Amino acid sequence: MKIDMHVHTKNSKDSNQNLQEIVRIGKKRGLDGVAITDHNKTNENVAKDFVKLLKDALIELQRKESDLLGWIENILLHTFSLPETHSDYRSSIVERANCVLPVVAFDPEVKSFLVRVVDDLVHKAWLDSIGTVITKRPPLSWTDDDLLKFEQEMIAMSSKIAKYERLALAKGYIHDELIQISITSNKKGESFKIIHQTQSEKKQVEQVKEQLSAVFKNLDPNENIDLILRSLSEYAVKLIKDHKAVKQEKN
């Protein structure tokens, strides 16, 4: 935090600037605050103006902090492929992080992130901690460059977590219902996706299955299994690709 600890207003003989002008210049120079150190006595009206200015600045800071923490929350949701309407996203993220931690011992960057994710902190401090570990700076001191860095690092983190979830699944660290889709093409390489299915989504899955069955009802599965599976695999690859593109746009 950068604060100029010695600033005079026009109430001192060596300055001709009022409080509003000092605040404007301080913001332009990237300062987080200033300390008014006038030599002469300050009259009551100036003191009242200063208190009002300080209160307004604190209200603005609180609003910006709330907006910033909400933005960090949305980035976390996209990182773990959770919908923005998820009612208890933190519990889901913590649960998945605990499953992945045993397989990231040799990746200090991912491990440090996941350790912060599973920390039992109050929510505001939790978000602040996650933002700090990614950018090496507390969110309230972020510049535009830090915002961009956080976005980019979390996009990369999403891919790394998906890779480690795959490994954790293979090693038996994940015991909840989970599906891994992997489609490999000699021309397009591999597309894979880890799917976390909640109990509430099972009914929806059954409905989609019925719709897919209706699409292929005129094809004999014994005679056309390659055609059906090829169609499904091509569609799945497209969905995975489109999903990654949307995540990057949102982040």
Buried-exposed string 117-141: b where 16+ CB fall within 10 A, e elsewhere: beeeeeeeebbbbbbbbbbeeebee
Is the confidence at residue 135, as pLDDT, over 70? yes
The pLDDT tens digits of the residues spanning 168-204 come to 888 887 766 667 677 888 777 777 677 766 666 778 8
- Give 33's DSSP letter: E
Q: Which residue has the higher pLDDT, 217 or 101?
A: 101
The pLDDT tens digits of the residues spanning 73-94 come to 999 988 888 877 666 889 889 9
State how beta strands 178-185 and 189-196 pair: antiparallel
Is the confidence at residue 41, as pLDDT, over 60? no
pLDDT value of residue 198 = 64
3-class secondary structure per residue, 60-128: HHHHHHHHHHHHHHHHHHHHCCCCCCCCCHHHHHHHHHHHHHHHCCCCHHHHHHHHHHCCCCCHHHHHH
Most confident of 18-27, 34-43, 230-239: 230-239
Distance CA 18, CA 61 (A): 21
3-state secondary structure (DSSP) of residue 181: strand
